[in-house]
Amino acid sequence: MGQGKYGLTVTALVGVVSLLLGGCQADAGRSEPLPAESEPPVSVVDFSGTPGGNAVVYASTHTDVPDDFPMVPYWDAVRRGEEFNDALVSDAEIVEWQLAREASLANCMKRKGFLYFPNDRQNSASADESPDDADYYRSRDSLFIPRLPATRAEVQAVGYGVQRKKVAEPVVTDKNQEYIDSLSAKEKSAYSIANVGVDRTAPDYDPYSQPEETGGCFGQMERDFPDPGDTHVEHNILEQHGDIVSEMTVRDRGGIVFGEKPMIKLNREWRTCMAGKDFPIDNLEEGRLWDGPVQAYMLAIRTDPSGKVGIITDDPNATPDEQSRLIGSATERELALLDFDCRTETDYLHRFTEIQRKWEQSFVDANRKALDKMRAFVDGLA
């Protein structure tokens, strides 16, 4: 690992996937001031397309590819297929299904002599104020490189942009757990058998080696109230073409392109450039998903306004908050500017774009029959 004049220690980034992919996509049309640690940008364009002034620029771990990229039409087909399938079941139907399941489970446990308190809180898509990158880019073609503005002046003003502050989930008392805790050991055993058909309190119980639990009241609930989406299997792109979608996902989202020789060479040049600016980056991630400019981005997330590198955390209540997200501080903008300069000196974005273009074309050539069949399936959905 290295340490330069900024006092920032660069460490391996393994194990921070969920945080990295949680950068937020721009929210079109919304304008609000930046946090107090950073002065508002001037005459910039919000990445969602909303014209400038003091519009907030939101950080992203992805950069959009040109429209003519080989995989664009196939990822578009995956997205359209998922959207079609999602629309087959309304939100109201999902809520009704969830509540019916919970009521069924409570009635069944009551007949067996136990209490069960139905969960009337519906699942929420995200604790964030806006959709995040992981959701937006889940079925879109993109370059896995932190997005930066097009000009050096804009980078000086906004850096990588800022991430939305996450909304803390309300603390909810788990009445069912409190009830289970109040039971005797013998009663807890009987409760478990009534609930799922096996004794989870048994000394030899191993949740990782058990078959799927289909017994007890929970199993009965599953059979009586199947997922409403399962009734539309013939229209489900993942059911009908899951193999090729899985290959697309593993190939694109698994960072395999970073193992290509031209990509390894490019990231070595970028690290050499950063070292020449007294900011050495270690090579522990060479050839893997976290190699290259994403390392500078991760350091920006971890660096507070004073330049101190903090812990990585996704806890919305963590203190200080700036140690877990981008807030637009001067130190973060300085990191982004170094990254921008080294990308410019190595022609990074253009070279990365062409490497991925060729890489995608080779995948299309090798899998065209399955890809075209999947795309035709989506085009035929009524």
Buried b (16+ CB within 10 A) or exposed e, 246-261: eebeebbeebbbbeee
Q: What does the block give as tokens for 3?
A: 């340490």
Instruction: State the pLDDT at residue 53.
Output: 40
Instruction: State the pLDDT at residue 234.
Output: 83
The residues spanned by each domain of the chain are 17-97+118-173+236-379
State yes or no: pLDDT of 9 exceeds 70: no
Q: Which has more confidence, 131 or 260?
A: 260
Say if residues 61 and 20 touch (Cβ distance below 8 Å): yes
Q: Which has more confidence, 230 or 166?
A: 230
Instruction: State the pLDDT at residue 91.
Output: 85
**Band of pLDDT at residue 212, cut at 50, 70 and 90:** low
Of 232, 325, 197, 342, nearest to 280 by C-alpha is: 342
Residue percentage of the chain with pLDDT more than 90: 41
- The span from the CA of 293 to the CA of 142, in Å, is 15
